Every structure is written in C-alpha cells, then in structure tokens.
Structure 1
Amino acid sequence: MSTITQPRALLIIDYTNDFVADNGALTTGQPGQIIEPSIIKLADAYIAAGDYVIFPTDLHTANDAFHPESKLFPPHNLANTWGRQLYGHLTDWYTKHQQDDHVYSFDKNRYSAFANSNLDNYLRSRHITDLTLTGVCTDICVLHTAVDAYNKDYTLTIPASAVASFNASGHAWALNHFEQTLGANVIR
C-alpha cells in the first residue's frame, strides 16, 4: 500500500540586496548574510523532494506617499534596482531553477506574503498545507506572513538558522511567538 504525501512549500521571504547586503538600504547585515547557506540547502532539498520553493519579494516605488512603509523606513526594494535583486548565491540558485514549475516568484507590497496576493490560492490549488518560512526580517515580514498562515490553518515550520532581522531582540521575540502563540515548529 503506497502513501501519498502532501506537497510542502518553502517560502524565501525578501532575501534581497536591500535587506541583506552590507550596503543595502534596510539591511540586516551579517545576521542576514549568515543564513544564506541554510536557505540554499533547504531550497535544494525541497526541489529534490518534488516540493515547492516560493519567493514572495517586497516591491516598492520611489516616493510613494500612499504606502504606509514610506513613513517608517527609507526607500527599499525599489522596482528595477540592484537593491531588489536576490542576494548572493540565491541569485544563481533562482536563475538555475526559475523555469521549474515548482518554483514561484511574486511581488508583494505588504509585510505579509498573503496580503494582496494570490498565495493562498496558489498553495490550496496544489494541496499544500505545510509551509516552511525563511528569509528576512524575522519580526516583520516573516512574522506577518506566519500570522496570516496560522489564521488560514497552515502548518508552520521556521528554521531559526534560516531567518534573520536587524533587531536581535525582535528576532528572539518572533521565534518565541512562532512557537508559543502560532504553534509553529521552530527548529533551533
């Protein structure tokens, strides 16, 4: 008797130059840079297993007075800029796999990858209920995506070695929140 396993999805959230590179506009710096090997290892494992790798990536336009982030943060992840490109070796990984039908990339304009996007439809149409969240920032976009996923009844895993923030206390708080409040499996 064979068992059919449900596909899983790895979300690589906002892993761009502006959020990770030393000279990024809103960089996590070294904490973001050291998670790169973990993210790539996970992406390789998900593709090898026939699972999905999804890239929800922040997109902004310069001088957008109507976007709430414009009041909170300097301009970042602007359309058609170096800052919005994937960071480091993840660029090569994406270039190699972008034509794979199990790799999906989309623009997002809010912290949560679910806000104003078709992510929920994409996942449900593929019978995906198990999500692993990686990327930056642990206590902003990863957190808001996790809260929305929880509210939509997805099962969550967050590898601590694959998320980072520019705020160490916020990062620690978010890991605890994932585990204690959202019931996520936080791999430490």
Structure 2
Amino acid sequence: MEGVIVIDMLVDFVGGKLATGRESAVVEPIASLLAAARKAQRPVAYVGDAHLPHDPELRVWGEHAMKGSEGCRVIPELAPQSSDYLFEKRTYSAFFETGLDSLLRSSGVDTAILTGLHTHLCVRHSAADAFFRGYRIVVPIDCVTAFTEAEQGSGLEYLHRHYGAELVTSADLVRRLA
C-alpha cells in the first residue's frame, strides 16, 4: 500500500526565507495527489523542519523554520486534514528520529510516495532512509522541486539510479489511486 509524504511545504520554503520562486509550481499537483490519496484512504503524512537553535543545518542555511514559528507551518494551500499525520524533523530526512517509519509500518505502507522540497536535499535524504528501511519509492516529478533546474534534474536522476525510485507524474498516481 502507498503512503504519501509531504516534505517541507512550509511557509519559510514557499514564499519565505528560503524560497526561490520555483516552489509554487508543485502546490497544485501535490494538492490533487493528496485529495486522491485521502479518497483512497491512503495515509498522508506531513514532515517539516522545526529547528532548535543549535541544529547543525542552521550553520549551512541560516535560521529558518524554527520550532514554534510561523515559518515552520504548512502553507495554507496544503493545510493538513484531521485524518493526516504531522511530524517535525531537525535534519534533512523525513525518517530520522521522527516516528514516520513506525506510522507507515503500522499502517501497512510498503511504498513511500515522496513529494515536496527539495529534490536534491530533503527528498533525497528521505528517499535514502526509505530505501534502507525497505520501502519502494515513488516520486511524482511534478510534486517535487529543487533550487535550480540543474539540481532538480540531478536529484531525480540520483533518486532513480541509486534508490530505484519510480518517476511518474501526479496524474499517473491519481489514476492509480482511483
């Protein structure tokens, strides 16, 4: 069974401190996929940065998505529903010390559909952890983006080559879930 994971679709990443302008293109495809997943009664999990002041990532990216701040909230266009799950992360991976793996296993999920930001960073590290935990990985290419087109392309290539990620479109997945 598939589970949809929404990574870092947060205020600070979409229109905030770390926005590049590319993020808005993935909002509608993610919203469509989430609607289909909920209708098919598939688990939907949001995993977003909620940093503490001494997290190592802040040395690289500066202060962003600080725990309890507006910047670490999911953007309103993708607001979680009552049936969804929310997890906070302090590293690039959606799996590292978040409880996501336990939720997916207890829900019977064997396939992780990864969406969100950024293809070459948090999606990539989440895919690695999903792969090493035995999940099949599906990445809808219109539901992920990176800082640049080059990083997007290399990120998708890496996911496919090293983790066997199935690269599809959100429309393909919506049809599959129907």
What is the CA–CA distance in structure 1 between the aligned matches of 2:9 and 2:20, rounded to whole Å? 10
- Give the gaps of 5 or more residues in structure 2: 170-178
Letter in 2 for 1:86: V
- Which residue of structure 2 lines up, in the alignment, with residue 89 of structure 1? 77
Letter in 2 for 1:38: P
- Which one has the largest radius of gyration? 1
Deviations 1:107-128 (A, max 9, x none): 1111101111211111111111
Kept in 1, the 8 Å contact 2:114–2:140? The answer is: yes
Match 2:10 to one of 10, 16, 21? 16
Kept in 2, the 8 Å contact 1:28–1:164? The answer is: no
Letter in 1 for 2:93: S
Letter in 2 for 1:73: W
- Which residue of structure 2 lines up, in the alignment, with residue 68 of structure 1? 56
Deviations 1:24-71 (A, max 9, x none): 111132x1111100000000000000101100111113xx23x21121
- Which residue of structure 2 lines up, in the alignment, with residue 3 of structure 1? none
Kept in 1, the 8 Å contact 2:95–2:101? The answer is: yes
SS in 2 for 1:181: helix
Letter in 2 for 1:78: M
Aligned-pair identity (%)? 30
Kept in 2, the 8 Å contact 1:157–1:186? The answer is: yes
What is the CA–CA distance in structure 1 between the aligned matches of 2:20 and 2:35, rounded to whole Å? 24
Alignment of 1:10-49 (within 5 A): 10-21=4-15, 24-29=16-21, 31-49=22-40
What is the CA–CA distance in structure 1 between the aligned matches of 2:26 and 2:130, rounded to whole Å? 22
Kept in 1, the 8 Å contact 2:43–2:107? The answer is: no
In the alignment of these two chains, the number of paired residues is 169
Q: Pairwise CA RMSD of aligned residues? A: 1.3
Structure 1 segments of 4+ aligned residues over 3 angstroms from their partners? none
Instruction: Give the TM-score normalised by structure 2.
Output: 0.90
Match 2:67 to one of 67, 73, 79? 79
Kept in 1, the 8 Å contact 2:113–2:137? The answer is: yes
SS in 2 for 1:127: coil
- Give the gaps of 5 or more residues in structure 1: 1-6
Could you tell me how far 1:88 is from its partner in structure 2? 4.0
Kept in 1, the 8 Å contact 2:50–2:68? The answer is: no
SS in 1 for 2:19: coil
Could you tell me how far 1:168 is from its partner in structure 2? 2.4
